[in-house]
Amino acid sequence: MSRIKKITIRPVLNGFVVTVGCQEVVFMEIETLVKELIRYHKNPRAVEEEYLQNPVNPPEAAEIPLAAEDMPARADVG
């Protein structure tokens, strides 16, 4: 059995941000959070692999400017 990583649960306005090791997952309902914690406790390695292989918003989907000139100009505040 794989070792369970440190888990931190932080309540926010519309749910919970759960940090497991260095990864963060967001849950909107406490029931889903508890269900996933139980699954993780039973088989940490399988659940970690599942989350990493099926991300909701994979990093390559994000549009991140590579240089300052690629960033949109800020509106001047007077």
Tell me the C-alpha distance between 46 and 44, whole Å.
6
Tell me the C-alpha distance between 37 and 31, whole Å.
10
What digits encode the pLDDT tens for the residues 11-61? 999 999 999 999 999 999 999 999 999 999 999 999 999 999 988 777 666
Q: How far is CA 42 from the centre of its chain?
A: 20
Residues 6+ apart with CB under 8 A from 38: none
pLDDT band for position 73 (cuts 50, 70, 90): low
Q: SS3 for 49? A: helix
Cβ-in-10-Å burial (0-12, 13-18, 19+) of 4 comes to: middle
